[in-house]
Amino acid sequence: MFGLDKKDTRMLLVVAILTLCAPFILNPFPTDSAMAQFNAGYPDLMQRFVIFGIFAIGFNILFGLTGYLSFGHAAFLGVGSYSAVWMFKLLSMNVVPAILLAVVISGLFALLIGFVSLRRSGIYFSILTLAFAQMSFNLAYSVLTPITNGETGLQLTLDDPRVLGVSATADGSIPVTSLFGLEMRSTFEMVVGPWAFQFNAGYYLCALVLLAAFYLSIRIFRSPFGMMLRAVKSNQQRMNYTGLNTKPYTLAAFVISGMYAGLAGGLMASMDPLAGAERMQWTASGEVVLMTILGGAGTLIGPVLGAGFIKYFENIFSKINDTVLHNWFNFMPDGLEDFVVFIVHPFIGKGWHLTLGILFMLVVVFLPGGLVEGGQRIAKWVKGRKDKDGSSSATKTPAE
Amino acid sequence: MDAILLQILNGLDKGSAYALIALGLTLIFGTLGVVNFAHGALFMIGAFCAVTVQRILNLSYEVVDETQKDFLGNPLKVKATYVESWFGPEMGGAIIDWAVPIAIIFAIPIMILIGFVMERGLIKHFYKREHADQILVTFGLAIVLQEVIKYFYGANPIQTASPEALSGVANVGALFGTEIFYPVWRIVYFFFSVVIIGGIFSFLQFTTFGMVVRAGMADRETVGLLGINIDRRFTIMFGIAAAVAGLAGVMYTPINSPNYHMGMDFLVLSFVVVVVGGMGSLPGAVLAGFMLGILEAFASMNEIKSFLPGIDQIIIYVVAIIILLTRPRGLMGRKGVMEE
């Protein structure tokens, strides 16, 4: 289907089902139950899942395929957000032109930065991208205040021109973002028994964009172009010696991943029309690196998994507090219960970043392939056990 | 003239922090070939050593002072620190006042120990892996260390005062026949960093241990073949590098109240400094540290900002980009080290 082989089609379908049914899947607990606080099926959070998924997919096209570790990708996300908000201010509240502009501008920005940074590789490339991103961040905070509105962040106001729309609605408030009239914030709530499922227009737009982005990344991975990028990763010197100029390929990958980041930024602004400089800070770039590595760099599904995983647990962990823990462990004897809660306490609530850091280190040390590799190992182990139980199938060791 | 001198002073004191951190980073990179993104966290831990020492010295108990009455007529309870009761008010007061310099004594063994644990426990396993992996794992470690500190000390900056005697301003201009007043502690910081840098260089240059380490930096395998346990020496160098970062942090506390993410803020700049100076070159790191510090100070002069707005925010990065693109090895990089 769509020019994909059977395995890829299946993967695309799984992702499609997961994203489209997310309001159900992420809402397993009834609204009144004690576990309801662990539901993640509300629009704001689901939007974040898919938007960061897009961001991570884009980052993976650069890092996963070519091995160039960029520590400044958040700059493109920031640039995308700013250009989208400017489109809302100047043209209309329709999200399509805003997202398009975000992609184009961040693509141009990536072209510029990539052209310079890709002259070096390895750690130098990381430092160069980091330097460029920090530079944009500092500029957005200081000199570029007329464009970025500095620390406050860029917001919509009542006296923006909005040539194709209205400056203010009839009742004098700022108009909301929409897709040809369909408001992004409009939500349909379906109540089934004790459950309440929310279907948000903005989320579904993001989900469709994610699917398109995912499809495109599969095509890139399977194309001759993707093959070339992998060749760059495994042995760039050899590519150069065969008389092949790798620069256009790496630059194209850089620009594509920059455009993905811009797309994510544009979507972010479309869901909530404001943009701040902190989106460009290098810790934000670090976050997308974490997502990609945690999920599995160089795999198709990994970045999406990583983004979902981090954003989901960030949300859940921040909500757990000592009372919840005491509830969980109250089957234990009192002293032991207090002890367990005391041990777990630093890792929950505000300690989420500590958990994330430890998890990330464990993944880098023991599981360089991320969650995907973990899944494969478990699958292999299960399969291996089955084989042992059944017929003694000879394990074929390939000749070295 | 005064303005220029003042900016040079400003630059020297910012530059000494850069130089110290960059020196440690280069020591680690030059010996072990590891890119350590957790080095900023070591700087931060050093700063919190100073905070801890100050807190310990200020531990107190309550005594009833019979000579004073509170407003209800009861004897007043006064807090007295243990240190004062042990050493007498004068000596004890002085010890509390000099908490930050005293912290140096405690910080050195603690930082060396942390360095050993880090190297043996984690970094050892990453020698053979790609630089990207090293960056990632140390980046993760930096997050963890930062969050641990945040858990124990909270997220707010903690004020830590310098000793009374060193907290005023001095007329530095007297040396040049003009008047420039400058905080004494910052001048102390500069001289302190010069001493540390000088110490590290002479240690490497004039001791047998240093000679072996330098030989190992040049050709690790051959030194190993000569029957020298170069790994152990490199581990010790890692500890020393951690101690240098820690000391830079200890002494920096009175200049800037430490908070848990101060390391990250310095780390990015220090990496830029290392790259500008040339990966693996110790003099390069020191030179680039001071140079970029001074450049940054000059860029924040109003005269320069008025025709190049925002230049003070980006000057370091601009210089780094230009240097990286025109001199691939940095200012003083050695041939063959990370040239790709």
| Option in A134, A289, A361 nearest B144 (CB) | A361
Spatial distance between the Cα atoms of A52 and B120, rounded to a whole number of angstroms:
36
- Say what the pLDDT of residue A18 is: 87
Check CB contact of B304 with chain A, cutoff 8 Å: no
pLDDT (mean) for B180-191: 86
How many other CB atoms sit within 10 Å of the CB of residue B282?
21
Q: A353–B143: do the CB atoms touch at under 8 Å?
A: yes
Q: Are B251 and B51 in contact (CB under 8 A)?
A: no
| Option in B140, B324, B340 nearest A364 (CB) | B140
- Say what the pLDDT of residue A23 is: 82
State yes or no: pLDDT of B39 exceeds 80: yes
Q: Are strands B169-171 and B75-81 parallel, antiparallel or unpaired?
A: unpaired
Domain count, chain A: 1
Is residue A282 assigned to a domain? yes
Q: A135–B310: do the CB atoms touch at under 8 Å?
A: no
Please report where in the chains the tokens 């110790």 appear, as a residue: B282
Tokens of B290: 């001071």
- Say what the pLDDT of residue A390 is: 53
Chain center to CA of A149: 26
The interface predicted TM-score of the complex, written ipTM, equals 0.80
- Say what the pLDDT of residue A78 is: 93
Q: What are phi and psi of B63, to 5 degrees?
A: -125, 155
State yes or no: pLDDT of B335 exceeds 70: no
Chain B residue with minimum CA distance to A294: B136
Spatial distance between the Cα atoms of A367 and A196, rounded to a whole number of angstroms:
38
CATH number, residue A264: 1.10.3470
Give the helix/strand (H/E) hosting A198.
strand A195-200
Choose, out of A240, A365, A366, A367, the residue to mutate when testing the contact with B (most B CBs < 10 Å). A365
Q: Are strands A195-200 and B75-81 parallel, antiparallel or unpaired?
A: unpaired
Tokens of A53: 């998924």
Concatenating the DSSP letter of every residue in A31-68 gives: TTSGGGGG---SHHHHHHHHHHHHHHHHHHHHHHHH--
* DSSP E strands, chain B: 60-69, 75-81, 169-171, 181-183
How many other CB atoms sit within 10 Å of the CB of residue B211?
12
CB < 8 Å to A142, chain B: 309-310, 313
CB < 8 Å to A289, chain B: 136, 139
Check CB contact of B272 with chain A, cutoff 8 Å: yes
Parent domain of A236:
11-28+40-319
* DSSP E strands, A147-194: 154-155, 178-179, 182-183, 187-192
Check CB contact of B268 with chain A, cutoff 8 Å: yes
pLDDT tens string for chain A (400 positions)? 677 888 888 888 988 998 888 888 887 777 777 677 777 777 888 888 899 999 999 999 999 899 898 988 999 999 999 999 999 888 888 889 999 999 999 999 999 999 989 988 888 888 889 888 888 888 888 888 888 887 888 888 887 788 777 777 777 778 888 788 778 778 888 887 777 788 888 888 999 999 999 999 999 999 999 999 999 888 888 888 989 888 999 999 999 999 999 999 999 998 888 888 888 888 888 889 989 988 888 888 899 999 988 888 888 877 777 777 777 777 777 778 777 777 777 777 777 888 888 888 888 888 888 888 888 889 899 988 776 665 444 444 444 4
Check CB contact of A357 with chain B, cutoff 8 Å: yes
Is residue A363 assigned to a domain? no
CB < 8 Å to A356, chain B: 143
CB < 8 Å to B340, chain A: 120-122, 124
Q: Hey, which residues 192-251 in chain B have their CB within 8 Å of chain A?
A: none
Check CB contact of A312 with chain B, cutoff 8 Å: no
Check CB contact of B148 with chain A, cutoff 8 Å: yes
Q: Are A81 and A102 in contact (CB under 8 A)?
A: yes
Q: B310–A138: do the CB atoms touch at under 8 Å?
A: yes
| Option in A119, A122, A365 nearest B125 (CB) | A365
Instruction: State the nearest Cα–Cα gap between A384 and chain B, in angstroms.
Output: 29
Chain A residue with minimum CA distance to B309: A143
Highest mean pLDDT among B105-109, B153-157, B255-259: B105-109
Q: Are strands B181-183 and B169-171 parallel, antiparallel or unpaired?
A: antiparallel
Check CB contact of B170 with chain A, cutoff 8 Å: no
Q: A131–B272: do the CB atoms touch at under 8 Å?
A: yes
Spatial distance between the Cα atoms of B312 and A144, rounded to a whole number of angstroms:
14
Check CB contact of A368 with chain B, cutoff 8 Å: yes
Is residue A180 assigned to a domain? yes
CB < 8 Å to A346, chain B: 151
Instruction: State the nearest Cα–Cα gap between B306 and chain A, in angstroms.
Output: 11
Check CB contact of A317 with chain B, cutoff 8 Å: no
- Say what the pLDDT of residue A393 is: 46
Integer CA distances (angstroms), B225 to B221, B222, B229, B230, in order: 6, 5, 9, 10
Overall residue count recorded for chain B in this entry:
340
Is residue A390 assigned to a domain? no
Chain B residue with minimum CA distance to A346: B151
- Say what the pLDDT of residue A389 is: 60
Is residue A360 assigned to a domain? no
State yes or no: pLDDT of B23 exceeds 60: yes
| Option in A119, A351, A364 nearest B147 (CB) | A351
Q: What is the number of alpha carbons within 13 Å of residue A189 lying toward its C-beta?
A: 9
Instruction: State the nearest Cα–Cα gap between A101 and chain B, in angstroms.
Output: 26
Check CB contact of B307 with chain A, cutoff 8 Å: no
Instruction: State the nearest Cα–Cα gap between B168 and chain A, in angstroms.
Output: 32
Check CB contact of A128 with chain B, cutoff 8 Å: yes
Q: Which of B311, B260, B6 is nearest to B151 (CA)?
A: B260
How many other CB atoms sit within 10 Å of the CB of residue B207?
11
- Say what the pLDDT of residue B74 is: 74
Q: Are A332 and A77 in contact (CB under 8 A)?
A: no
Q: A138–B314: do the CB atoms touch at under 8 Å?
A: yes
Chain A residue with minimum CA distance to B150: A351
Q: Are B261 and B139 in contact (CB under 8 A)?
A: no
Q: B135–A126: do the CB atoms touch at under 8 Å?
A: yes
Instruction: State the nearest Cα–Cα gap between A220 and chain B, in angstroms.
Output: 23
Tokens of B254: 């009175």
Q: What are phi and psi of A240, to 5 degrees?
A: -65, -40
Q: A141–B313: do the CB atoms touch at under 8 Å?
A: yes
Q: Tell me the whole-structure pTM to 2 decimals.
A: 0.85
Q: Hey, which residues 64-103 in chain B have their CB within 8 Å of chain A?
A: none
Check CB contact of B152 with chain A, cutoff 8 Å: no
